[in-house]
Amino acid sequence: MSKAHPNHRTIVVMPAHNAALTLEATVGGIARDYVDELLLVDDSSTDDTLAVAERLNITTVWHPHNAGYGANQKTCYLHALQRGADIVVMLHPDGQYTPDLIPDMVAPIVAGEADLVLGSRMLPNRRSALQGGMPWYKWVANIGLTRIQNTLMGASITDGHTGYRAYSRRLLLELPWLRNSLGFSFDSEVLYQAAHLDFRIAEAACTTKYFDDASSIRLKPATIYALWTLWTGVRLVLHRAGIKKDRRFLPAPRVVDPPDGW
């Protein structure tokens, strides 16, 4: 099969925890002519996630202990970079985000128009997320929190809390994401970092599905996530004002060539 973008090595990373029931369907929907490799990081699942991944011939890394959503992503990106990725797409293996959006996620990076692409559930309009089954209270919280984030970052994104993202190699090398949280707030921290360090951010309209087997953050961690997201925004404001410097917002550029053979 010929590859759509032969000069760009694209790796899809899947941060997984108990995804055995949805993994195969998710992988089956991926447009493989746009993807060079699938990489799954298993965060100490208690189901058959690893066995399903092995049967599907997916490159797999596993955590011996449950480390958290942010920790899982750190492992994803470290291994993708070391495997020569030019573009890294994060796709949850629970089936909530549609895999067929990958070509649209990758295109702005290939064209040199973006370093970070967000799969927005609020496009083409805000009610799109409700039509996809997002609970109304999550919808309201998403809109409100995203609006505050835009004010703090000086940005104009529509969905600051999507888990569907694509990154350029340059962003992953220069953004100090290893300094971020091990938990759910990792995503918000990356967004603040990208906006502060002037990386180009684009969005693609993303449909989602909400169902029993799809992972969903519970009320207590969701509340902690929202508070931590707001606090990180405050830290960004303090950093920009020179009142309190934060290492998360200091660039760490390093040019690393891909391994031989990639």
Adjacency order of strands within the sheet including 116-120? 59-62, 37-42, 10-16, 87-90, 165-168, 116-120, 201-205
Per the structure, the count of domains in the chain is 1
Question: What is the DSSP-derived secondary structure letter of residue 178?
Answer: G
The pLDDT score that the predictor gives to residue 10 is 98
| Residue 256: pLDDT band with limits 50, 70, 90 | low
Q: What CATH number is associated with residue 199?
A: 3.90.550.10
pTM for the model stands at: 0.92
**Which letter, b or e, does each residue of 240-250 get, where b requires 16 or more Cβ atoms within 10 Å of its Cβ?**
eeeeeebebbe
Between CA 179 and CA 245 the distance in angstroms is 14
For the stretch 128-177, pLDDT in tens is 889 888 889 999 999 999 999 999 999 999 999 999 999 999 999 999 99
- Let me know if residue 259 belongs to a domain: no
DSSP letter string, 112-163: TS-SEEEEETT-SSTHHHHHTT--HHHHHHHHHHHHHHHHHHT---S-TT-S
- Let me know if residue 172 belongs to a domain: yes
What is the CB neighbour count within 10 angstroms for residue 178? Answer: 10
The range of the structural domain enclosing residue 88 comes to 10-246
Share above pLDDT 90 across residues of the chain, in percent, rounded to a whole number:
82
- Let me know if residue 52 belongs to a domain: yes
Between CA 54 and CA 50 the distance in angstroms is 6
Q: Average pLDDT in the 102-131 region? A: 95
- Let me know if residue 153 belongs to a domain: yes
- Let me know if residue 64 belongs to a domain: yes
Closest by alpha carbon to 177, among 204, 147, 197?
A: 197
- Let me know if residue 44 belongs to a domain: yes
Q: Which tokens hold the place of 104?
A: 């649209």
Closest by alpha carbon to 27, among 49, 47, 5, 2?
A: 49
- Let me know if residue 76 belongs to a domain: yes
Between CA 135 and CA 113 the distance in angstroms is 33
The pLDDT score that the predictor gives to residue 215 is 56
| Residue 3: pLDDT band with limits 50, 70, 90 | confident
Of 52-66, 121-135, 196-210, give the range with the top mean pLDDT.
Answer: 52-66
- Let me know if residue 132 belongs to a domain: yes
Between CA 176 and CA 189 the distance in angstroms is 10
Q: Which of 34-43, 131-140, 224-233 has the lowest mean pLDDT?
A: 131-140
